[in-house]
Amino acid sequence: MDVKGRSPSILETILEYNHDRKPKRVRLKLQRMDENPFAFFRGTDHLFARSWLEYQPSDVGPAILICGDLHLENFGAYEAEDGEILFDINDFDEAIVAPASLDLVRCTASILIAAELWHLTPLQAVGMALAFLEDYRGTLTTRPQDHPDANGLPLLGPSVIWNRPGVTGSVDRVSLLNRNTEFTKKGTRRIIRNETKHPPISTSRFKAIKQAVEQYGKTTRRPGSYAVLDATARIVGIGSLGLPRYVVLVEGAGPPDENWLLDIKAATSPSLRSCTDALQPECGESEAHRIVQAQLTLQAKPALGLDVIEIEGRWYRIRQLIPDENRASLDRLRRDPVKLREAIHVAGHVTGHSHLRGIPPLEESHRRDELIAWASRPALDAVMAAAVRCAERNRLDYEEFHESISRPSALPKPLRSKESPRKSR
């Protein structure tokens, strides 16, 4: 409560959580969150964590390494180091050792929220949510020898991805370059500036990024590949808006069609820390190290270029840029509930495999048995009930937020006024 003994409003809580982020980006984040209850859900993982005790199932399940912010749009295709294209969970900013039910309740709630947004019947919504949980349960209880790989890796390659139009697009580096860059008069590429996607950065910031990336390149087997050609800020998603994030064009293999685009993103502490007292693994000196280690653990194979990088004393996650089209998109899926159901089936399988990999190695045998036994009991029915309560809480919070933000004076002046111009590239 504040000094007057009054509990802070939803808007005040959101503003406090985002107080150290760039006002211009926070303003955009609030606008995107106000679009609908699902967008609000994506941008308020801290509210989910704050209310966890209110709707958590009685049996929360064993503590394992989880995604922490699992919802329908946090799945997508990526390129592994060996060149294989996989479909998996693709966001690990909130990854933490916590009860398995945290992931399941959040993802199941996202299904219910999306279904309501599209005016599907309650029966359709519940059917999709139960399908997700049943596919999760089935993945855990399948005998190890029945998996396509001894370690249970979900090798969901092109035969799965391309047969599900709307779930994801094609990973194509040249197309990615052509959509995001343009040629200069000298025949080299530069990133196309766009205030809504790739806004310019200051000259001093560019120099810092260039120095850090090229210094990082010296630690790799191909230092020349990390010669920086250009860099801009990057605006994408909802939850992380306001945090420093950049797209960097580097030399890559050499010719213009073989340049690389890198995604560099700042890291913060996970909101779910308040939801668990489980012992956390030693992951390095920063939150970026935690995120990268979690991604290496939970994804089927290491993502291309995944690592940490330090820029002016702050650690970031670095990886090859993933095309927006390679993320599961509800805007595309909403046109066809049949395809949405297919995507939900895939999400259930992928989540099951991810949770199996999230079991601590030293406890693999008995913790795996514990996870399977938990998923085989009525525990998932309790997860469904918790997801219903979570979706309802999100609806109420969104309605309060939407009403508050519609008032002209709701936001503080820094979020209403334009930033002063600055020298940029």
- Examine the fold and report which residue of 324, 347, 372 is the final residue of a domain before the chain moves on: 324
Distances 95 to 254, 273, 353 between C-alpha atoms, Å: 35, 10, 15
Q: Return all residues near 64 (Cβ < 8 A) that are at least 6 apart.
A: 97, 98, 100, 355, 358, 359, 360, 367, 371
What pLDDT shows up at residue 272?
Answer: 93
Per the structure, the count of domains in the chain is 2
Please write the tens of the pLDDT for every residue from 153-168.
344 433 343 334 344 4
Q: Is residue 59 predicted with pLDDT exceeding 60?
A: yes
pLDDT higher at 151 or 385:
385
Q: Is residue 254 predicted with pLDDT exceeding 50?
A: yes
- Examine the fold and report which residue of 295, 324, 353 is the final residue of a domain before the chain moves on: 324
Q: What percent of the chain has pLDDT over 90?
A: 63
Please write the tens of the pLDDT for every residue from 173-189.
788 899 999 999 988 89
What pLDDT shows up at residue 342?
Answer: 79
What pLDDT shows up at residue 335?
Answer: 62
Mean per-residue pLDDT, 388-397: 97
Cα angle at 225 between 262 and 297, to 5 degrees? Answer: 50
What pLDDT shows up at residue 356?
Answer: 94
In 207-334, DSSP assigns E strands to 228-233, 245-250, 260-266, 307-311, 314-320
Tokens found for residue 107: 């993802």
Claim to verify: residue 108 and residue 42 sit in the same structural domain: yes
Q: Is residue 354 predicted with pLDDT exceeding 60?
A: yes
Claim to verify: residue 305 and residue 182 sit in the same structural domain: yes
Q: Return all residues near 324 (Cβ < 8 A) that are at least 6 apart.
A: 236
pLDDT level of residue 425 (50, 70, 90 thresholds): low
Please write the tens of the pLDDT for every residue from 6-50.
688 999 999 999 999 999 999 999 999 999 999 999 999 999 999
Mean per-residue pLDDT, 138-160: 51
Alpha-carbon gap, residue 347 to 349, rounded angstroms: 6
- Examine the fold and report which residue of 324, 343, 377 is the final residue of a domain before the chain moves on: 324
Residue 101 lies in a domain: yes
Claim to verify: residue 37 and residue 156 sit in the same structural domain: yes
Claim to verify: residue 249 and residue 380 sit in the same structural domain: no
pLDDT higher at 97 or 154:
97
Alpha-carbon gap, residue 308 to 317, rounded angstroms: 5
Residue 409: domain span: 10-167+327-416
Mean per-residue pLDDT, 117-133: 90
DSSP-derived secondary structure for 11-42: HHHHHHHTTTS-HHHHHHHHHHHTT-HHHHHH
Residue 79 lies in a domain: yes
Mean per-residue pLDDT, 341-365: 88
CB atoms within 10 A of CB 33: 24
Claim to verify: residue 239 and residue 381 sit in the same structural domain: no
pLDDT higher at 162 or 316:
316
pLDDT higher at 303 or 4:
303
Claim to verify: residue 16 and residue 108 sit in the same structural domain: yes
**Range among 184-198, 327-341, 411-425 with highest mean pLDDT value:** 184-198
Mean per-residue pLDDT, 50-55: 94
Q: Is residue 149 predicted with pLDDT exceeding 50?
A: no
Claim to verify: residue 269 and residue 404 sit in the same structural domain: no
Claim to verify: residue 156 and residue 263 sit in the same structural domain: no
Mean per-residue pLDDT, 336-358: 85
Mean per-residue pLDDT, 145-149: 40
Alpha-carbon gap, residue 398 to 392, rounded angstroms: 10
pLDDT higher at 97 or 323:
97
Residue 2 lies in a domain: no
What pLDDT shows up at residue 418?
Answer: 56
Residue 277 lies in a domain: yes
What pLDDT shows up at residue 329?
Answer: 59
Mean per-residue pLDDT, 265-269: 95
Query: SS3 of 48, please?
Result: helix
Residue 1 lies in a domain: no
Claim to verify: residue 375 and residue 359 sit in the same structural domain: yes
Q: Return all residues near 59 (Cβ < 8 A) that are at least 6 apart.
A: 101, 374, 377, 379, 382
Residue 311 lies in a domain: yes
Claim to verify: residue 26 and residue 161 sit in the same structural domain: yes
Q: What pTM was computed for the model?
A: 0.89
Claim to verify: residue 32 and residue 148 sit in the same structural domain: yes
Residue 423 lies in a domain: no
Residue 369 lies in a domain: yes
From 88, 60, 55, 95, select the one nearest 74 (Cα to Cα): 88
Claim to verify: residue 300 and residue 376 sit in the same structural domain: no
pLDDT level of residue 316 (50, 70, 90 thresholds): very high
Report the mean per-residue pLDDT for the chain.
86
pLDDT level of residue 215 (50, 70, 90 thresholds): very high
Encode 183-217: b = buried (16+ Cβ within 10 Å), e = exposed: eeeeeebbbeeeeebbebbeeebbebbbebbbebb
